[in-house]
Amino acid sequence: MVNEKIVTLENDKVDQGKVIKYLQNLAHKVVSKFP
């Protein structure tokens, strides 16, 4: 049970990283549109 919870936490971290990168890319695109 404990190992499963740890794996889930690690997966959540990876997903958060992807979301953060996506938001950063999105923000960069929006900013680049406005000089």
Cα–Cα dist 16/8, whole Å: 12
Q: Is residue 32 part of a domain?
A: no
User: Of 2 and 21, which is predicted with more confidence?
Assistant: 21
Express each pLDDT in 8-33 by its tens digit: 888 899 999 999 999 999 999 988 88
State how far the Cα of 5 lies from the Cα of 30, in Å rounded to an integer: 37
**Total structural domains in the chain?**
1
Give the residue numbers spanning the domain of 20.
1-25
Q: Is residue 33 in a domain?
A: no
pLDDT, residue 1, reads 65
For residue 7, what pLDDT is reported?
87
Query: Does the structure show a pLDDT above 90 at 35?
Result: no
> What's the rounded Cα separation, in Å, for the pair 31 and 10?
31
Q: Which pLDDT belongs to residue 6?
A: 81
